[in-house]
Amino acid sequence: MSDSQESIPTRCLMQLEEMDIKPGKILRNLSVPELLEVAIQKGEGELSSTGALSVKTGKFTGRSPDDRYIVDDDVTHSTIDWGKVNHPLSEEKFEMVFGRMRTFVEGKEFFVFDGFVGADGDNRLPIRVITDKAWQILFATQIFIRPTEIELVNHDPKFTLFSVNDFGAVCDLEGTRSETFIIINFKKNLVLIGSTSYAGEIKKAMFSVMNYLLPRKGVFPMHCAANVGRDGDTALFFGLSGTGKTTLSADPERRLIGDDEHGWSDDGIFNFEGGCYAKCINLKKENEPQIWNAIRFGAVMENVIIDHSSRKPDFSDGSLTENTRAAYPLNFIPGAVIPSVANHPRVIIFLTADAFGVMPPIARLTKEGAMYHFMSGYTSKLAGTERGITEPKETFSQCFGAPFMPFSAMEYAKMLGQKIVKHSTKVYLINTGWSGGPYGVGKRMNLVHTRAMVKAALTGDLETRSFTHDYIFNLDIPTSCAGVPTEVLNTRNSWSDKRKYDISAKRLALLFVKNFEKFDSVGEEIRNAGPRG
């Protein structure tokens, strides 16, 4: 481990000089043991009994989407879908923030990770992450794709992320909502992050960058998990937090490609990342053994409470946040596909957790129906998961990842539709939420039944079954499915009070219709594929 800039390649130093960044000591691509040692010495975290590093992220235990900005310039002005998700920041304000950051960091110690986003060599992005926390570079080392020794010597980053945890914007002067900021500048190929220690901002900032760059190359970027069967059949799992994306894609009978971010090119699909970032609140070995066993030496746990006597992580403790996380490299999962590339998907599954208890457990989607539900991105937030939520609340996040999509939902949906047609991909909608009544009355879908439905979809068994049409949600529902009781497949029959079901179902259908009104340029064939109310 060097304690001077002499070990840093000239190319890296030249980039810092070109950016007028003048830190003191720079430590680049340290090994995992070295990073752990430094982080512990600096008091950034503590080692658990599993060997994983446990850190606390301070006031932010999750992303801050309202503090994310894209620089509005001649590169982005006419291409970005500006609005509630993509907030503009002028070039002048960006330079004001960046200028103060450069002054602030002068002479300070910084850590550097050089690596890649994208497992496909034709579509990977060389990146550089610079931050003032050793544990965040450990996070980057585990979550992004590490270079070989030869690649490291010749590394030439095309995008740089610069994060300073204790530097804040002057919002009245620099045009930000608060002192916290995540600013993406596509003209300068630069991301600035300040006044937040939540590492998910680093991961998702680079995801947002890929979501802008790849469509211009004809590659469809996706917020989804992916796995592959023994015969090479690939499946994608789209879904928002809490829908079961990670759980259902971690199938012992199939190999994991990735748990969160992928691209779909003319050659197949590929993972953006080299690691996983799993939620671990209430994690149990018997339920999710792969994730449990992956939280070992080298993994990074965010906001997980450690028992001071046993040093064991207490995954049931949500006192800091329900959004406890663990980051670990993909090779910690047995049988994971590395490099994580695979064939074109045979099946796509959209996951929703409907807390109102009215969506069918599984339904088949047409191409237009797939585009509609992709653009809708529906699930429910539950009471108690966020302050102020006292009863289930509907959530619509377009493309199953609205905070990370710089372009319009229709642009991404068109790419999805084209891929479905070209590769004859089957699409299903699966509800992992409630049946027999809403949250608090009915019961959560039986995981055994859900896994059986997923299996039937992946093996093609569902295509041999007959279907009936749900006229409220405008969906085709199988009348039978191996391993699933027939009465489970018809949600209305699971309610004792059919009138209450009809009222609740029509209410949710109308919420779909109302949400879809914002897509004013969508053709009628897609609009008509959604719920009717």
Catalytic residue numbers read 63, 204, 223, 241, 245-246, 260, 325
Using the 8-state DSSP alphabet, how is residue 214 labeled? G
Find tokens 């939280």 and name the residue. 295
Helix residue ranges per DSSP H, 262-385: 289-294, 367-376
Side-chain half-sphere exposure of 211, counting CA atoms within 13 A = 29
Taking residue 83's Cβ as centre, other Cβ atoms within 10 Å add up to 10
Q: Say if residues 104 and 85 touch (Cβ distance below 8 Å).
A: no
Three-state SS string across 484-524, please?
ECHHHHCCHHHCCCHHHHHHHHHHHHHHHHHHHCCCCCCCH
What is the DSSP code string of 69-128?
EEEESTTTTTTS-BTTTBEEEEHHHHHHHHHHHHHHHTT--EEEEEEEE-SSTTT-EEEE
Nearest-angstrom CA–CA distance, 195 and 197: 7
Cα(496)–Cα(437) distance, integer angstroms: 8
Report residue 511: phi and psi, to 5°. Answer: -65, -40
Interacting residues of 322 by C-beta distance below 8 A, sequence separation 6+: 281, 385
Q: Give the residues across from 345 on adjacent strands.
A: 234
